[in-house]
């Protein structure tokens, strides 16, 4: 990465009239007015017209956050456009993370769909609803690679995999920006958090990250590059540091890599108060120093704090910051406002009232929810439940009737009254036959008072089958909600064991913002549906899968550990010099008393837990069975710059139609840098009729085989490559090919 504090070259030609307008404004603005454009302000206490109005009229604010009342937004835009010194409209930002009024599954749940199309459509519907109140900018998608489920913000991520995150991040960007930035139903997207935020030590939000240069480029940066290539309008800096330099002041990252190497021309915004927090990091001596370091690094817009307005005028006067750097940032901010159509019509997105949940949005929300459900376990074909015999179903648990909780984290504007709970949907499904017995058992997912468990057991003893609605409330995941223990919280484990004692089939529907450690309950359950926090239409999706209206098709976007002590555990790890295998491991119960002090097994495992994950990346069962056979390659030898076609027969050997997610994995077994044991390089959602076979084809280009090597950039090395195709990251259908020079 290069370092430069000089203004970046404008690499793309903008319409002459736009450039002329921007340059005229820059020439007319005072330094203080320019710096005002670099301020993103929150309303504070009191009516925004009073708290923000004077600052808007004086040109001290260029953007606002967390104002959602449509009339208020319209009035603030009027002030900016008609009463500020130069009539410059406002950026209006809001965290529209996975829906606005209509709430999609949390992003981690959306990732379980492995469906870029439904994610793009969901973002488009969210943008439409948000734009209806006057919002023109959102702080999503978050594309931080997340390998630690203790981290609360894993809920906002697309999981642990680079390829999947790239595909889904690009899809969400395109969805938010559907029709172009100047569409009245689009909002500007923001790629966050640049970069490495998901690698926080111990899964503690905001903690230090330690990422090697090799890991940074091969794992954490690619989703951001994909977002830039998809046309993302803005990038947000990470709270964390990289190699000792906080991202908000990282000049070689922001100016060198993002702008110079990637040619990004959008705006860079700090995260909330992350500029003054440079002082807390111990990187800046005071807030004046923090402001100087941030603007030099390339941060165009300061979120929530006031260090730019307070300190940059003096910094320019003293020569610590050139006015040319200020102009560069303001030019980009004005260009975004121009691209959003705000100069032509500052009220482009305003309506008299917000667009509430609509049929089209609910349909997309339902599709995302039903495709996100992952069937982790289904012993003895417990699912789907049959309603032919008018069953008596006990619905038990604190999340059965929890319309608010199923919406998940970051849903400031979601409407819980529109949520269809699992209990409501199950009752609706059995309204023409069957009976639903319901008991909450626990007041909340965190409740340790087990008094209600006995009562719930007495009720459930009358049922034919028990459906437990378990998990964690939405407040237990998200920003600043990291957990050291990720078992089912409260007395839920006790509840599971009580239900098992009744001798009935027990099905668990688990709603959570992260993978939970389920080893202490998994053997007590006949079937498990992992529902994440499934959003507005979650209950309908859950009931339809429970009763077989739809076959489950979700696949895990993240590995499920058996125990917290295994974390981080992820499928695309390195092999190491001593990989564990069943014949090499010796577990604690197998060690003789007074055993000699030898290195048991001589491999990378824990003595007290199975070295394998509980559920692997890509895992997800169906109500049918799929078989992968007959892999053929179009070529056995290819050259750099060429592609190879991989064909596989995918057979549905069960008795019902269903959708499978076929996955392609690659390994470079010998390289000048150690490489992961497998890497996802392709996937397809395929509907296969019962008893039929489809031939599927993947095209693999040698660009997908490249890796980043410090000092050389992205390279491909000749040699043998392995490939697997199957239904999860343990796919066994295998072949090899060779890449040769010349």
Catalytic site positions = 271
**pLDDT digits 0-9 by tens, 603-656:** 898 989 999 999 999 999 999 999 999 999 999 999 999 999 999 999 999 999
Rounded CA-CA distance 309/287 in Å is 11
Half-sphere exposure of 551 (CA within 13 A, CB side): 23
Q: How far apart are CA 480 and CA 459, in angstroms?
A: 38
Can you tell me the mean pLDDT for 17-32? Answer: 95
Q: How far apart are CA 472 and CA 554, in angstroms?
A: 20
Which 8-state DSSP code applies to residue 701? E
Q: 339 vs 12, 37, 180, CA distance in Å?
A: 14, 16, 9
pLDDT above 70 covers what percent of the chain? 97
Mean pLDDT across 110-138: 97
> Other CB atoms closer than 10 Å to residue 593's CB: what's the count?
4
Q: Which residue has the tokens 């667009």?
A: 355
- Of the pLDDT bands very low, low, confident and very high (cuts 50, 70, 90), residue 5 is low
Each residue of 245-298: pLDDT tens digit?
Answer: 999 999 999 999 999 999 999 999 999 999 999 999 999 999 999 999 999 999
Q: Which residues of 359-381 are buried (b: 16+ CB within 10 A; e: fewer)?
A: eebbebbbbbbbbbbbbbbbeee
* Pairing state between β 465-471 and 679-688: unpaired
What pLDDT, on a 0 to 100 scale, did the predictor assign at position 17?
84
Dihedral of the CA atoms 14, 17, 20, 22 (nearest 10)?
-70
Examine the pLDDT at 207 and tell me if it is beyond 70. Answer: yes
pLDDT in tens, 81-95: 999 999 999 999 999
Beta pairing partners, 237: 194
356 falls in which pLDDT band (50, 70, 90)?
A: low
Burial class (CB in 10 A: 0-12, 13-18, 19+), 16: exposed
The overall longest dimension of the chain from CA atoms, in Å, is 84
Evaluate if residue 714 carries a pLDDT over 60.
Answer: yes
* pLDDT > 90: percent of the chain: 91
Q: Is 194 helix (H, G, I), strand (E, B) or coil?
A: strand
- Are 84 and 25 within 8 A, CB to CB? no
Tokens standing for residue 387: 């309603």
CA 666 to CA 638: how far, in whole Å? 15
Going by C-alpha positions, the residue among 77, 48, 75 that lies closest to residue 62 is 77
Whether the per-residue pLDDT at 324 is higher than 80: the answer is yes
Q: Is the pLDDT of residue 16 over 50?
A: yes
pLDDT at 132 over 80: yes
**Angle at alpha carbon of residue 339, lines to 335 and 342, rounded to 5°:** 95
The full set of domains in the chain, from first to last, is 16-339 (3.20.20.300), 361-546 (3.40.50.1700), 626-739 (2.60.40.10)
Q: Per-residue pLDDT tens for 453-479? A: 999 999 999 999 999 999 999 999 999
- Residue 612 near residue 584 (C-beta atoms within 8 A): no
């Amino acid at each position: 990465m290069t370092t430069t504090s000089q203004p970046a070259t404008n690499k793309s030609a903008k319409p002459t009239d736009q450039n002329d307008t921007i340059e005229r404004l820059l020439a007319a603005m005072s330094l203080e007015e320019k710096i005002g454009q670099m301020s993103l302000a929150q309303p504070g206490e009191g009516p925004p017209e009073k708290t923000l109005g004077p600052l808007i009229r004086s040109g001290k604010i260029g953007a606002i956050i967390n104002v959602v009342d449509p009339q208020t937004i319209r009035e603030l835009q009027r002030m900016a456009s008609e009463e500020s010194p130069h009539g410059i409209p406002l950026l209006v930002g809001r965290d529209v993370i996975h829906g606005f009024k209509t709430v999609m599954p949390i992003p981690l749940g959306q990732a379980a769909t492995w469906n870029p199309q439904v994610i793009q459509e969901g973002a488009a519907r969210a943008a439409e609803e948000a734009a209806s109140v006057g919002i023109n900018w959102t702080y999503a998608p978050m594309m931080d690679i997340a390998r630690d489920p203790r981290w609360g913000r894993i809920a906002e991520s697309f999981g642990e995999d680079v390829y999947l995150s790239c595909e889904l991040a690009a899809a969400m960007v395109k969805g938010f920006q559907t029709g172009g930035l100047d569409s009245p139903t689009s909002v500007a997207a923001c790629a966050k958090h640049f970069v490495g935020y998901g690698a926080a030590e111990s899964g503690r939000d905001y903690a230090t990250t330690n990422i090697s240069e090799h890991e940074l480029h091969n794992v954490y940066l690619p989703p951001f590059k994909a977002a830039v290539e998809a046309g993302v309008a803005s990038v947000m800096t990470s709270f964390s540091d990289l190699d000792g330099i906080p991202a908000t002041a990282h000049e070689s990252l922001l100016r060198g890599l993002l702008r110079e190497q990637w040619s990004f021309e959008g705006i860079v915004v700090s995260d909330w108060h992350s500029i003054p927090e440079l002082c807390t990091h111990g990187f800046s001596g005071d807030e004046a120093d923090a402001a100087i370091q941030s603007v030099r690094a390339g941060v165009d817009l300061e979120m929530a704090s006031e260090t730019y307005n307070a300190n940059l005028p003096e910094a320019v006067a003293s020569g610590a910051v050139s006015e040319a750097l200020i102009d560069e940032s303001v030019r980009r901010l004005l260009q975004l406002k121009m691209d959003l159509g705000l100069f032509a019509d500052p009220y482009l997105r305003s309506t008299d009232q917000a667009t509430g949940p609509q049929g089209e949005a609910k349909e997309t929300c339902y599709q995302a929810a039903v495709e996100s459900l992952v069937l982790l376990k289904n012993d003895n074909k417990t699912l789907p439940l049959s309603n032919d015999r008018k069953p008596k179903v006990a619905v038990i648990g604190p999340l059965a009737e929890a319309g608010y909780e199923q919406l998940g984290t970051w849903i400031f504007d979601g409407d819980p009254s529109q949520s269809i709970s699992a209990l409501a949907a199950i009752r609706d499904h059995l309204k023409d036959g069957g009976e639903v017995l319901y008991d909450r058992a626990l007041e909340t997912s965190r409740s340790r008072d087990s008094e209600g468990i006995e009562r719930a057991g007495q009720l459930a003893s009358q049922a034919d089958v028990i459906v437990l609605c378990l998990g964690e409330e939405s407040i237990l995941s998200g920003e600043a909600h990291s957990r050291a223990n990720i078992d089912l919280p409260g007395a839920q484990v006790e509840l599971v064991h009580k239900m098992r004692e009744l001798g009935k089939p027990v099905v668990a529907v688990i709603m959570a913002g992260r993978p939970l450690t389920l080893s202490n309950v998994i053997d007590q359950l006949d079937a498990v549906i992992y529902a994440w926090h499934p959003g507005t239409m979650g209950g309908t999706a859950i009931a339809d899968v429970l009763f077989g209206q739809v076959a489950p098709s979700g696949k895990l976007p993240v590995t499920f550990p058996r125990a917290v002590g295994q974390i981080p555990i992820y499928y695309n790890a390195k092999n190491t010099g001593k990989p564990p295998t069943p014949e090499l491991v010796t577990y604690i119960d197998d060690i003789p008393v007074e055993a000699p002090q030898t290195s048991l097994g001589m491999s990378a495992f824990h003595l007290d837990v199975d070295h394998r994950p509980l559920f692997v990346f890509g895992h997800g069962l169906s109500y049918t069975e799929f078989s992968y056979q007959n892999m053929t390659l179009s070529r056995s030898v290819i050259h750099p710059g060429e592609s190879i076609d991989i064909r596989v027969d995918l057979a549905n050997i069960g008795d019902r139609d269903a959708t499978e997610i076929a996955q392609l994995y690659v390994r470079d077994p010998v390289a000048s840098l150690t490489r992961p044991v497998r890497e996802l390089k392709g996937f397809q959602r395929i509907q296969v009729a019962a008893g039929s076979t489809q031939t599927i084809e993947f095209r693999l280009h040698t660009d997908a085989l490249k890796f980043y090597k410090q000092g050389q950039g992205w390279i491909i090395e000749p040699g043998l490559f392995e490939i697997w195709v199957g239904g999860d990251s343990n796919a066994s259908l295998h072949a090899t090919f060779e890449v040769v020079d010349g």
